[in-house]
Structure 1
Amino acid sequence: MNKSGLKLRGVNLGSWLVLEKWMVPSLFEGLAATDETTWCAELGERAGERLRAHWNRWITRDDFAWLAERGLNAVRIPVGHWIFGPDYPYHPSYGEARHPFVEGGIAVLDRAMQWAEEHGLRVVLDLHAASGCQNGFDNGGIKDVCEWHTRPEYREHSLSVLERLAERYREHPALHAIEVLNEPRWDVPTDYLKAYNLDAYARIRRYCPPERVAVVLHDGFRDFREYLGFMQEPEYRNVIFDIHRYQCFERGDIDMDIYGHMNKAAGIWKAEADGIITELGLPTICGEWSLGLDLKVVSLWADGPFNHALEHMDAFQENVAYRGYAAAQLATFEKYQGWFFWNYKTETTPAWCFRDCVERGWLPSSFA
């Protein structure tokens, strides 16, 4: 059965197999670390016990059940290039440790796939952090380093991880798609990125036929029109284009009032969706979005000022604003093949925590 026609409505299970400090600051207390790489390098032998406890606590079978009960049908699971253990290239940020990352993540992923199958959820496996880091963000594994595209061994290791994921889960009923690289930065050359996407498709297709598994590519923070004519049928089948849409990182968005945010979501982004659907020739998902408008809680090292659209509202006005902003985004993202909220949970902020958003009434109580 070709799963590509399924409308995906889901969440990301972020900061589980790739740590992000702003979502789980309790793990980083007392440390200089800013990302999973430096966290593991700094903690050394103490990292294993602490991270395995986090893996067991952060996402459980009950979370999959909660999602299924509310009519969601998919999860996007970010993984790091170290998921299979210590066969990754060395990077100077590791310091004296040749292989700093904690082993055992693949068993956690096996368990997640099982839980997804039990609850009828589709899984998008997402290579979120690549060797050498593809974006310089903490979510890429190493903050302030973007070297993935500078050495062939980083590229080859990424392809190897994708192929091993494809081989391991090729028969798994829950596997819906494999995303070849999350958020490669805007200054990674487009031609380099396209060549990588083509090679990644070939590696995944060695094990996963297009009738069963989609291959997802991220836009790399560039206009979708740079991909017109790319990876089209019949040569390439069941390819999905992934965009991420937020309104809290650029100064123009930060300074906008709530009416501007809703207009951008239901107006400008809707027009963009119409263009993508009409011109691109690839089914598209919004793989990340949120209700977050306050930059301060998202990026613990961002420079201010930290003004935002909701800062002078009372509790009732804030609830109305979040509901309106959520509805405006959903109205647009429903035009696509699907969407995934970032994130299912956080320690810090309800606007980025899907479960909190639902329980506060900002998002619907049922997605069926």
Structure 2
Amino acid sequence: MSAKIISLAAVLVASVAALPQATASIAAVASASTSIATGPSTSVPLSTVLSSAQVSLQTGAASHGSKIPYWSRCPLPVTSTTTSSKRYAPTITWPFLENGNFIDWKTYKSNGANLGGWLEKEKTHDPIWWDQHAPDANDEWTFCQMLGPKCGPVLEARYTSFLNTSTIDQLASVGVNTLRIPTTYAAWVKVPGSQLYTGTQQLHLRTITHYAITKYSMHIIIGLHSLPGGVNSLDIGEGLGHDAWFYNSTNLEYSFLAIDAVLFFIATSGHTSSFTLAPINEASDNLAGFGSAAGLSTNATNWILTYIQGVFKRIALVDKRIPLMLQDCFQGASYWAPFYAAGTNIVFDSHVYYFAAAGTYSEYVLPAVCGQAAYIQESETKFPTFIGEWSLQAMFNNTLADRKSIFDTERYAWEKYNSGGAFWTAISYSTAAVDGEGTQRDYWSYIDLINAGVITKATNASYCS
């Protein structure tokens, strides 16, 4: 372990001592994991992993609920229709939770933004910076492979320059009350052979989350968007072509160690009630079916259920009031609901992007949004649903003038029918052209949309009422 990482561990351990009382639950997590977890150097039998986690291998995936047909229903079909010119200005009061009050996702309404492309880098949203360093790399794994020892310093500098507390100030100015923050597993655990960088990501995260919580009472969703071995063969899952997380006991063990480290971070924050834990994102063991119900097999569902069972066990060591957010892997919340008893502290996260919906023209998106939000809510009434990612880009005929109405309609619809949402993403520097006017940055960058007057605190151009 490097001196830098040892120093990081010392900072976080010291923060435990600074708390009024280090509870037994915090001590339990601290003893299980340092801030940067280390794990086995050799493969671990599945029986050992399951026994240590006090969980059993799940085999009941065939009892899942109904699948949402994502190709045809998420997003809903967007067809040529006569749209009304009338717009509404609903009054929305976004909640801000005082420290000590745990969130109830059944009643909470998120006016959120993702801090995507920050601690988990994506070439799409930071291409100019990326191409200055490794233009031939298409994922963070290869980026660091190509840079070698230079990768750490390059990433550390970008963590600092990509966003800062002034970003949080600007988000707060339009009523943002929730931050969804993707991280790689390498921010939490050092996995032998992984090319992903392990450094001081937690210190950067601590600075931003502490500021957002103490100054603006924002709620924080910490997401593990990649898991060891790869969860979906995409750049965001670990690396392109990587899907070895499934059915690999050693990778499962490292995933639990990453969860331990995230919980240690939450427990030592002094604001345990201000966090939700999202342990997996857009998992798929069938890349050809990614983004649809065909993207996840029954066996993969069992593996995820086993992992989530272990995550719940670990949350209980700290505080069972910390919610678990389960990204639905494009199956819909109703698919997962039968596996959990009523009252389980879980919220389901669905992602809705109209740029990926076949035949979607921007002028016909508005009626679909209103129906979409209602459809997601009606398909699952047992547990709360949350729209964890959405943006303004449509497949065809994007216009700068349409952005205000599309934004206000989506933000209002997710609030009216669901537990709100989180826009993707706070900052994007994407230079990719869209069909119609502008570039992706014009439709995906929250800060730029604020500066352009598209996003305002008031919702005054909604198609839904």
Q: Same fold (TM over 0.5)?
A: yes
Shift of 1:71: 1.6
Shift of 1:129: 1.2
Structure 2 match to 1:362: 454
1:224 matches 2:306: no
Distance 2:170 2:110 in 1: 17
Spell out, residue by residue over 1:249-273, the C-alpha distance to the aligned partner (whole angstroms, 9 max, x if none).
24x1xx2222432222112342232
Instruction: Map 1:1-368; keep pairs closer than 5 Å.
Output: 1-4=101-104, 5-29=107-131, 30-86=134-190, 88-90=191-193, 94=195, 101-119=197-215, 120-170=217-267, 172=269, 173=271, 175-185=274-284, 186-187=295-296, 189-210=300-321, 213-234=322-343, 236=344, 238-250=345-357, 252=358, 255-276=359-380, 278=381, 281-293=382-394, 308-310=396-398, 318-334=399-415, 335-348=417-430, 349-366=441-458
Shift of 1:216: 0.7
SS at match of 2:318: coil
Shift of 1:275: 2.5
Corresponding letter in the other structure for 1:232 = A
Distance 1:270 1:260 in 2: 17
Distance 1:223 1:55 in 2: 33
SS at match of 1:123: strand
SS at match of 1:139: coil
Corresponding letter in the other structure for 2:139 = D
Q: TM-score, normalised by structure 2?
A: 0.67
Percent of residue pairs bearing the same amino acid type:
21
User: Which runs of 4 or more aligned residues in structure 1 lie more than 4 Å from their structure 2 counterparts after TM superposition?
Assistant: none
Shift of 1:65: 1.6
Distance 1:116 1:232 in 2: 33
Spell out, residue by residue over 1:116-137, the C-alpha distance to the aligned partner (whole angstroms, 9 max, x if none).
2232211110001111111122
RMSD (Å) for aligned C-alpha atoms:
2.0
Spell out, residue by residue over 1:114-164, the C-alpha distance to the aligned partner (whole angstroms, 9 max, x if none).
212232211110001111111122122302322211311112211221122
Shift of 1:171: 5.1
Distance 1:258 1:214 in 2: 35
Distance 2:316 2:162 in 1: 32
Higher RCO by CA contacts (8 Å cutoff, separation 6 or greater): 2
Spell out, residue by residue over 1:63-118, the C-alpha distance to the aligned partner (whole angstroms, 9 max, x if none).
112222222111011111111352x1435xx4xxxxx5141112112212221223
Q: TM-score, normalised by structure 1?
A: 0.83
SS at match of 1:158: helix
Distance 2:229 2:332 in 1: 25
Cα 1:155/1:125, change in 2 over 3 Å: same
Structure 2 match to 1:302: none
Corresponding letter in the other structure for 2:108 = L
- Does the 8 A contact of 1:40 with 1:101 survive in 2? yes
Shift of 1:179: 0.4
SS at match of 1:192: helix
Gaps of 5+ in 1: 95-99, 295-307, 311-317
Q: Rg larger in 1 or in 2?
A: 2
Distance 1:134 1:35 in 2: 14
* Number of residues of Structure 1 aligned to a counterpart in Structure 2: 329
Shift of 1:191: 2.1
